[in-house]
Amino acid sequence: MWKPDREGAIPLYRQIADHLQEMIVHGEYPPGSPLPSERKLAELYGVNRSTVVLAYAELRSLGLVESRPGSKTQVSSSWTQADSRTPEWHRYAENGGFLPNLPFLRRIRDALALDGTIIDFASGKLSTDLSPIREINDIMHGCSYHPDNGSDVSQGFPPLREALADFLERYRGIRTTASSILITSGSQQSLYLISQCLLSPGDAIAVETPSFTRSLSMFQSAGLRIYPLPMDENGVRPEGIRKLYSRYRIKMLFVNPNFQNPTGTLLQADRRKLLLDTASELGLPIVEDDPLSLTAYNTDYPPPIKAEDASSSTLYIGSFSKIAAAGLRIGWIVAPKSVIARLADARRQMDMGFSVIPQQIAAAFIESPLFQPHMERLRGQLQLKLDTLVEALHRHMGGLVQFSVPQGGMHLWCKVVPEIHDGKFLDEALKRGVAFVPGSLYGAESGYMRLTYARPQVGQIEEGVIKLAEALRAVVE
Amino acid sequence: MWKPDREGAIPLYRQIADHLQEMIVHGEYPPGSPLPSERKLAELYGVNRSTVVLAYAELRSLGLVESRPGSKTQVSSSWTQADSRTPEWHRYAENGGFLPNLPFLRRIRDALALDGTIIDFASGKLSTDLSPIREINDIMHGCSYHPDNGSDVSQGFPPLREALADFLERYRGIRTTASSILITSGSQQSLYLISQCLLSPGDAIAVETPSFTRSLSMFQSAGLRIYPLPMDENGVRPEGIRKLYSRYRIKMLFVNPNFQNPTGTLLQADRRKLLLDTASELGLPIVEDDPLSLTAYNTDYPPPIKAEDASSSTLYIGSFSKIAAAGLRIGWIVAPKSVIARLADARRQMDMGFSVIPQQIAAAFIESPLFQPHMERLRGQLQLKLDTLVEALHRHMGGLVQFSVPQGGMHLWCKVVPEIHDGKFLDEALKRGVAFVPGSLYGAESGYMRLTYARPQVGQIEEGVIKLAEALRAVVE
Specify if B151 maps to a domain.
yes
User: What is the C-alpha to C-alpha distance for residues B275 and B310, in angstroms, rounded to an integer?
Assistant: 13
Same domain as A280, residue A340? yes
| B77: helix, strand or coil | coil
For strands A411-416 and A448-452, give the pairing: antiparallel
User: What is the C-alpha to C-alpha distance for residues A345 and A221, in angstroms, rounded to an integer?
Assistant: 21
Same domain as A222, residue A364? yes
Radius of gyration of chain A from Cα atoms?
Answer: 25
Contact A217, A101 (CB under 8 A): yes
Identify the burial level of B78 via C-beta atoms within 10 angstroms of its C-beta, where 0-12 means exposed, 13-18 middle and 19 or more buried. Answer: exposed
Find how far residue A355's CA is from the centre of its chain: 21
CATH number at residue B383: 3.90.1150.10
Specify if A60 maps to a domain.
yes
Radius of gyration of chain B from Cα atoms?
Answer: 25
Given an 8 Å threshold on Cβ–Cβ distance, is B145 in contact with A133? yes
For chain A, which ranges sit under pLDDT 50? Answer: 81-82
The nearest alpha carbon in chain B to A346 belongs to: B98
- B88 contact residues in A (CB cutoff 8 A): 283
Same domain as B175, residue B266? yes
Question: What CA–CA distances, in Å, run from B316 to B65, B161, B241, B326, B327?
Answer: 53, 14, 19, 19, 22
- B186 contact residues in A (CB cutoff 8 A): 351-352
Q: What is the pLDDT of residue B13?
A: 86
Given an 8 Å threshold on Cβ–Cβ distance, is B29 in contact with A337? yes
What value, to the nearest 5°, has the Cα angle with vertex A250 and ends A247 and A256? 125
Contact A136, A365 (CB under 8 A): yes
For chain B, which ranges sit under pLDDT 50? Answer: 82
* Nearest in space to B193 (alpha carbons), one of B360, B345, B307: B345
Given an 8 Å threshold on Cβ–Cβ distance, is B101 in contact with A29? no
Q: What are phi and psi of B389, to 5 degrees?
A: -65, -45
Question: What CA–CA distances, in Å, run from B145 to A367, B61, B254?
Answer: 19, 55, 37
Given an 8 Å threshold on Cβ–Cβ distance, is A338 in contact with B89? yes
- A178 contact residues in B (CB cutoff 8 A): 1
Same domain as A294, residue A264? yes
Specify if A190 maps to a domain.
yes
CA-based torsion, B395, B397, B402, B408: positive or negative: negative
* Nearest in space to B294 (alpha carbons), one of B233, B378, B234, B350: B378
The closest CB to that of B336, out of A30, A199, A217, belongs to A30
Same domain as B467, residue B325? no
Same domain as A407, residue A335? no
- Which domain covers residue B222, as residue numbers? 145-368
Residues 6+ apart with CB under 8 A from A424: A475
Q: What is the pLDDT of residue B97?
A: 66
Find how far residue B194's CA is from the centre of its chain: 17
Given an 8 Å threshold on Cβ–Cβ distance, is B357 in contact with A188? no
Give me the amino acid identity at A353.
Answer: G
* Residues forming beta bridges with residue B122, ordered by sequence position: none
The closest CB to that of A337, out of B28, B180, B203, belongs to B28
The closest CB to that of B175, out of A26, A88, A131, belongs to A26
Domain finish residue from B368, B395, B412: B368
pLDDT digits (tens, 9 = 90+) for A170-195: 999 999 999 999 999 999 899 999 99
Same domain as A359, residue A395? no
Specify if A97 maps to a domain.
no
**Residue B464 backbone zone (phi > 0: left; psi -120 to 50: alpha; other: beta):** alpha
From the CB of residue B138, how many other CB atoms can be counted at a distance below 10 Å?
16
pLDDT digits (tens, 9 = 90+) for B311-321: 889 999 999 98
Specify if A388 maps to a domain.
yes
Tell me the shortest Cα–Cα distance from A298 to chain B, in angstroms: 27
DSSP conformation letters of A116-169? TTSEESS-----GGGS-HHHHHHHHHH----GGGGTT-TT--HHHHHHHHHHHH
CATH number at residue A68: 1.10.10.10
ipTM of this complex = 0.81
Given an 8 Å threshold on Cβ–Cβ distance, is B86 in contact with A280? yes
Specify if A5 maps to a domain.
no
Given an 8 Å threshold on Cβ–Cβ distance, is A145 in contact with B136? yes
Specify if B326 maps to a domain.
yes
Question: How many domains does chain A contain in total?
Answer: 3
Q: What is the pLDDT of residue A65?
A: 86
The answer, yes or no, to whether the previous bond of A238 is cis (omega within 30 of 0) is no
The closest CB to that of B192, out of A216, A351, A354, belongs to A351
Residues 6+ apart with CB under 8 A from B320: B326, B328, B330, B331, B362
- A175 contact residues in B (CB cutoff 8 A): 22, 26
Domain finish residue from A368, A400, A417: A368
Tell me the shortest Cα–Cα distance from A395 to chain B, in angstroms: 32
**How many Cα neighbours within 13 Å face the side chain of B261?**
25
Contact B204, B225 (CB under 8 A): yes
The closest CB to that of B101, out of A218, A310, A348, belongs to A348
Same domain as B437, residue B386? yes
The closest CB to that of A137, out of B145, B216, B341, belongs to B145
For residues A36, A12, A14, B334, the Cα torsion angle rounded to the nearest 10 degrees is -50
Specify if B3 maps to a domain.
no
Q: Could you tell me how many residues make up chain A?
A: 477
* Residues forming beta bridges with residue A253, ordered by sequence position: A206, A286
Q: What is the pLDDT of residue B306?
A: 95
Same domain as A159, residue A268? yes
Question: What CA–CA distances, in Å, run from A472 to A138, A429, A447, A460, B330?
Answer: 45, 8, 11, 18, 46
Domain finish residue from B314, B347, B368: B368
Checking A157-161 for CB contacts under 8 A at 24+ apart, the result is A157/A183, A157/A356, A157/A359, A157/A360, A157/A363, A159/A360, A159/A363, A160/A330, A160/A359, A160/A360, A160/A362, A160/A363
| B35: helix, strand or coil | coil
User: What is the C-alpha to C-alpha distance for residues B441 and B374, in angstroms, rounded to an integer?
Assistant: 32
Same domain as A289, residue A248? yes
The nearest alpha carbon in chain A to B189 belongs to: A351
User: What is the C-alpha to C-alpha distance for residues A98 and B351, in angstroms, rounded to an integer?
Assistant: 13
CATH number at residue B243: 3.40.640.10
Same domain as A83, residue A70? yes
In chain A, the largest separation of any two C-alpha atoms, in whole Å, equals 77
Same domain as B408, residue B306? no
User: What is the C-alpha to C-alpha distance for residues A304 and A279, in angstroms, rounded to an integer?
Assistant: 15
